A and B are shown apart, each in its own frame.
Chain A
Amino acid sequence: MNHFARTAGDWISDRWATVGDRVSDVVGKRPVKIPLIIVGVALVYLLPILNLPIIATPESDFPTVLFTVTVYAIVAVGLNIVTGYAGLLDLGYVGFYATGAYVIGLLTAYHFAWPFLLVLPIAMLITLVTGVLLGAPTLRVRGDYLAIVTMGFGELIRITIRNTAWLGGTSGIKSIPAPQGIGDKSTGVFQIPHLDWSTGTPLVDLNRQTKFLVFGVLDATPYFWLALTALIVIIVIERLVKRGRVGRMWEATREDEDAAEIMGVPTFKFKLLAFASGAFIGGLAGALFASKAGYINPISFPANLSMLFVAAVVIGGSGNRWGAIIGAIIVAYLPERFRQLEDWRLLFFGIALVAIVSFRPQGLFPPGNRARAQRAARRAARDAQREVPVV
């Protein structure tokens, strides 16, 4: 009895220790960070409500822009696993994005009228399977060849959809219903008025209220919250996976595939795992996009979208999830923020990209370890040069 009580106590304290460790695995070792993170996340959730003057986009609907940025951030986190961690250049990521979007379109509108929350996991699983089916034969090739194959895959998906009637063909899929919300359709559970800064001081705009939680065409705020929640869940899971054996094996594969294989890493398996995880997350992003857009057709998924996704990861800093997210913000937000420049904005955007790539080829925020390592290597090289005359 006594013995049992002791083991039960041990078991419980073990469990608690595990919970604590798990929290620290997600947020890091410094507990001071936790309140800061909570405040930061809350601020991000409130962005569309606060409507802050410099950040808000004057020429386009701010919540919609925030939603798009968040979807791009999800894409960037997913693609960062493939390209940043495992080192597989994927130029056809839009294929997974399209797959996710079309599963939503087909199952909630075109063929069936299943609820969004049921179809969302189905969409992600189907995209995951697509990733495995594409990865299994193609991940045996490396580098440039893989890039070409993936690029072909992105186009293949788009062209197949265009030419297949039961996938909607060229006319696409219309009236994809909004996800089921919470509360009454006309009022929601409660309403939150947005702030209006047009006079220079913040005023509560009672004409513009977000209904919690009603998804509709007029107000993109609930969609933003949904996407942001998805992004946070993905980041937490991705971080847990990265910090440990799986992350190490991905990185070892990226650094030197042959050496990794000889050190006992089944590199093919881990490349496939990275590819499938990336596909899974890409499918999520596409599904969110489709349910917000309400209408999808093959033109929504052009090849240059893949390039933009890769640009986001590379600009931000391949291999660092936060860098990739910032890259996504840059490619999705800046063109919207400077919409008043009209057609010039794309020119400036292009110049900005070229500038970043020329002056900071490793990306704005490369992974801490690699950046530190490179700095240290440069320092060592300098020191070595200095030492030569002495010797």
Chain B
Amino acid sequence: MSEVQTAPSTVQPLLDVDHVTIKFGGVVALDDVTFEIKPGEILGLIGPNGAGKTTCFNVITGVYQATSGTVAFDGTPLKGKKRYQITKLGIARTFQNIRLFPSMSAEENVMVGADVHSKVGILRSIFRTPYFRRTERESRERSRELLRFVGVNADPEDFAVNFSYGDQRRLEIARALATKPKLVCLDEPAAGFNPAEKQRLMQLIHDIRDAGNTVLLVEHDMNLVMGVCDRIVVLEFGRKIAEGTPAEIQSNPDVVAAYLGTEEDDDDTA
């Protein structure tokens, strides 16, 4: 993994966002954004409110289509792919505002993700074929395993609505991991977390990467982003203004200006 980070230019990127522009009517949400994610890295996507982080997320997961430019995952262009097909290809995500299936059990929530790669058929269900039984058992076991992995200690047969806020967030991560993704996109996973929970989350993100995944992290909490990411991409007003290691980003004058503002900057944007 560390080799990947030291010699990035020779490795084919896992996700290649190439000159992507998204317009909603007259509003340019993303303006010619280009970056790539290399296999095995943790990439942070940061920026002030309204910078286009979530839009960027949505174009990667197929919720929006790019107005121009291309997004390619593992060499496959994502243009025209349905959202569930993109999940099948290996991109999974969590949501900024938690979106679980509230009246299903925690285990079932995760199993929905785990079912992605097994064939579903009404006849298989009726005749309870050996394939059906085996995959059903495997996806249940996998779900339990993942719930332990992300650190949900509550009863897996309890319903998602009953879970504490933190457990719901972790449950979402487990559900995303259940789809066996190559790239895990976490949309503000630390929102509403206390420092101790943030610490655990940081460890979890490292664990996810160590389990062989690549992580794209959108987050507001700078300590978390700086502490966990290998590289960071900074967006402002839909444009990429910087890219680099946490140390480089922290000392980048454009980034400092974007976050803290400068006197000239105030005049420009007013």
Contacts and interface: CB of A to CB of B under 8 A. Distances in A.
Nearest to A241: B125
A144 interface: no
B103 A245 contact: no
A241 B126 CA distance: 6
B103 A259 contact: no
A345 interface: no
A241 B136 CA distance: 13
A202 B121 CA distance: 51
Contacts of B113: 263-264
A377 to B, nearest CB: 5
A164 interface: no
A369 to B, nearest CB: 6
A370 B84 contact: no
Contact of B88 (A258, A264, A367): A264
A248 B112 contact: yes
B99 A258 contact: yes
10 contacts: A243-B125, A244-B125, A245-B115, A245-B125, A245-B132, A246-B120, A248-B111, A262-B62, A263-B116, A263-B179
A373 interface: yes
Given A245-B118, A255-B101, A265-B112, A237 B126 contact: yes
B111 to A, nearest CB: 6
Contacts of A240: 125-126, 128
A237 B125 CA distance: 9
A78 to B, nearest CB: 14
A373 B128 contact: no
Interface in B112-143: 112-113, 115-116, 118, 120-122, 125-126, 128, 130, 132-133, 135-136
Contacts of A246: 120-122, 125
Interface of B: 61-63, 82-84, 87-88, 92-93, 95, 99-105, 108, 111-113, 115-116, 118, 120-122, 125-126, 128, 130, 132-133, 135-136, 158-159, 161-162, 175-176, 179
Nearest to B99: A259
Given A240-B126, A376-B159, A377-B162, A256 B101 contact: yes
B103 A373 contact: yes
Contacts of A263: 84, 87, 92, 112-113, 116, 175-176, 179
Given A240-B128, A262-B63, A249 B120 contact: yes
A304 B45 CA distance: 55
A373 B159 contact: yes
B87 A377 contact: no
Please name the 6 residue pairs, one residue from A and one from B, whose CB atoms are nearest each other, closest first. Answer: A264-B116, A264-B87, A373-B159, A255-B101, A259-B99, A370-B103
A380 B122 contact: no
Interface stretch (A18-26, A48-56, A129-137): A18-26
Interface in A13-65: 14, 18, 21-22, 25
A336 interface: no
A230 interface: no
A205 interface: no
Nearest to A370: B103
A184 B93 CA distance: 67
The CB with the most chain B CB atoms within 10 A, among A252, A258, A264, A372, is that of A264
Nearest to B119: A245
A22 B129 CA distance: 10
Contacts of A14: 130
Contacts of A262: 61-63, 83-84, 87, 93
Interface in A226-265: 237, 240-241, 243-246, 248-249, 251-252, 255-256, 258-265
The CB with the most chain A CB atoms within 10 A, among B101, B158, B161, is that of B101
Contacts of A259: 95, 99-101
A98 interface: no
A266 interface: yes
